Structure 1
């Protein structure tokens, strides 16, 4: 790992990024889902529905939903009958998720505080690993990918939903203007937190493009890697298998 990593458009020490990201998500936890609706016009719900359909959770499987604090992905997978562990490094996000689960009468999920880079689970423990809009906030992404590979059984599958770089001509310019100028203002209006949402936008811009991230997944040991772009690559579903 390099001496510095990106925190938005800044380069900081790894431990500084971990601390700052923790502060960001502690600040936005209570308004996170409302802001997702506002920022994406509700499209994040469709992206997550498609994502879970690709994962195809099944009864009897064990699934780790990493960075899943507020429960959005776990709630979608829960009706399948899979045994789902929701893990997040941020206790504030987990608290929001547990409150939402209680309100929905969902009591079959396991909630645990965990760092994606140093998972406490044994080798070959899960059938599937999911992470949605969380990998770009990890300090050491290659290390987290290797951990995902480690905790999966042979034949296990990795699925990641993350923002990327749209390839549609002209749309990238429109989206840049929207995200850099309007999203922080929405953060101020809805969550009274402009700077946290400025970071979230900047973190998207610093995340590797689809081809580069697919290569990183392969470097972690996964095979049959695949990328499914949505909105021209503004959002992408990445997947791979452990053999």
Structure 2
């Protein structure tokens, strides 16, 4: 059984109440839930820290649990949510679906869930990567990049382009390497998710402000699946307005 969990916090520095933002007459969190329900998931549950979000999700027919408001990361919120659901023993994979991506494609979720279909080959952790297409993407610190080994396991994540192209102008970098950027969609074995919540902040994580570096430093392998599909996260009022334009409203 694959369980989809959607962490949804009310507090947001740049867009307070983000999950409840109206996008063409439908809240952002309802759009995320609707997209996730089209994937091959046995169950989709919102993990929120706010009673307003909890009630809203239940009103539109979704499933939600109320978690502690002071979790240091979405990973910790997911683990509490899993426990609140009774730690279902038949769940072999938990997919962490970002609550601020109302256009997430179900195929992206399936790409990760499929990696866990065979227990003998299932990874501890899986995530999505996408080819970098523009110089703007490549050098944006807001779009983390990743380098992989030959088996598709992550070697390192960074806000800086990796690898560095010594002796070449920045405008030439894309022509000489297949750069990948990280999309914030994860899947885990339940037992691994529990272990991740016990790890302290690591030096690399503190330097880059990327939680997945904590996992790499602790020795976990992260399997990466490549997608051509774009991600559309909403962090600011301007992002929300672009989403409304995309919806034609």
TM-score by length of 1: 0.29
Between Structure 1 and Structure 2, the one with more helix by share is 1
Structure number with larger C-alpha Rg: 2
TM-score by length of 2: 0.29
The answer to which structure, 1 or 2, has the higher relative contact order (CA under 8 A, 6+ apart) is: 2
